[in-house]
Amino acid sequence: MSSTLVLCASHAPGMDRDTEETLGRTFRAGVAKARARIAEFDPELVLLFGGDHRRAFKTVIPAFGVAVSAGLLAEGTQQAAELDVPSDTARALSEFLLRAGFDIAVCRSVELDHAFGQPLGHYLGGVRRVPVIPMPVNCAGPPLPTAARVLDYGAAVGRFLDTLGKRVLVIGTGGLAHHPASLDTDRYDMSDDERRTLNQSTADAARARMNPDWDKRFLAAMEAWDTATLIDMTDTCEPEAGVGANEVRTWLAAAATAGGQGLHTVVYEPVLEWITGMGAMTSVPVGAGSAG
């Protein structure tokens, strides 16, 4: 049997741009706690559910993908890098999921952004420290997979992990409430410069769309593993929590791999400068969470 540790955590490009680490200090302290717990767990494999910000997938957008080879785009402080993807295991996972009734897309040489690079850097200390299978989930190109389907998908992935006999860290990355203008449009062909300019020019409006109350209700539902509430909140998140909250689908997938046990809040802090409610949860408690 495998041993699994689940981490669900927000990401934000502004976190890496803040090289002096003056912002989000409460959240950063939570990251340090989770990183220490992960180091103690000493994973042999990472499975990383992440969304795509219309960079890797533009004209064809899979609901669910399994990368058998992948790299990271150069972005902010992150340099371009090839990920250490165990292709045989990724291929076996793909075949398992297809037999289980999930028409996943097998992705080769896909170039991924901070949704994948940031958690690997922050929680593992490097993007090649541990072999990783990237698992893209469509959170940005409607129509999106339903929350119920995402939960079923995560549970199927968990059944595969049970066969590996490894220590597996499962990460779900994205959310919580945030509303980047670049995702609130049907355009799929924006350049990085256009995306950056649009998001910077609408930052004040995005800050106004942050919703700590929604975030805390979502975290509470994750702790209780209240799937009815999680499904409702995820499928209807945009009016209250913004288009970026769709990324919590990755949290549902990751948590479902552990067999439906509630997670423990490590930290929560709404960071205005990052336009995002920043939260982190783990399947094993690592310290008291903050109300932010």
Q: What is the pLDDT of residues 192-243, one digit of tens each?
A: 788 788 878 888 988 999 999 999 999 999 999 999 999 999 999 999 999 9
Closest CA to 167 of 255, 8, 44: 44
Length of the chain: 292
What average pLDDT does range 239-265 have in this prediction?
95
Measured CA to CA, the distance from residue 200 to residue 87 in angstroms comes to 38
| Tokens linked to 25 | 């200090």
Percent above pLDDT 90 for the chain: 80
Contact 41, 79 (CB under 8 A): no
User: Which pLDDT does position 174 carry in this prediction?
Assistant: 96
User: Which pLDDT does position 288 carry in this prediction?
Assistant: 43
Lowest mean pLDDT among 61-70, 86-95, 253-262: 253-262
pLDDT of 77 higher than 90: no
Q: What is the pLDDT of residues 107-126, one digit of tens each?
A: 999 999 999 999 999 999 99
Measured CA to CA, the distance from residue 211 to residue 119 in angstroms comes to 23
Closest CA to 10 of 39, 37, 35, 31: 31
User: Which pLDDT does position 177 carry in this prediction?
Assistant: 97
Contact 279, 265 (CB under 8 A): yes
Is the bond leading into 143 cis (omega within 30 degrees of zero)?
yes
Q: In Å, how far are 82, 124, 280 from 44, measured between CA atoms?
A: 18, 12, 21
Measured CA to CA, the distance from residue 287 to residue 258 in angstroms comes to 20
Q: How confident is the model at residue 1 (pLDDT cuts 50, 70, 90)?
A: low
Max intra-chain CA distance, the chain: 50
CA torsion 243-249-252-253 (nearest 10°) is -170
pLDDT of 187 higher than 60: yes
Measured CA to CA, the distance from residue 39 to residue 244 in angstroms comes to 29
What average pLDDT does range 63-74 have in this prediction?
96
User: Which pLDDT does position 275 carry in this prediction?
Assistant: 95
Instruction: Indicate the SS3 state at residue 220.
Output: helix
User: Which pLDDT does position 63 carry in this prediction?
Assistant: 97
In sequence order, which residues have a C-beta less than 8 Å from that of residue 147 and are 6 or more positions away? 230, 231, 234, 235, 249, 252
Measured CA to CA, the distance from residue 206 to residue 180 in angstroms comes to 6
Contact 242, 208 (CB under 8 A): no
E strands within 114-260?
132-136, 167-173
Q: Which residues are catalytic?
A: 114, 178
User: Which pLDDT does position 94 carry in this prediction?
Assistant: 98
- Amino acid in the structure at residue 7: L
pLDDT of 291 higher than 60: no
Which strands, in side-by-side order, build the sheet including 81-82?
A: 81-82, 70-72, 110-112
Measured CA to CA, the distance from residue 82 to residue 117 in angstroms comes to 11
Domain residue spans in the chain?
3-282
What average pLDDT does range 52-57 have in this prediction?
85
Mean pLDDT of the chain: 93
Measured CA to CA, the distance from residue 58 to residue 188 in angstroms comes to 6
CA 83 from centroid of its chain's CA atoms: 17
CATH second-level architecture of 3-282?
3-Layer(aba) Sandwich (3.40)
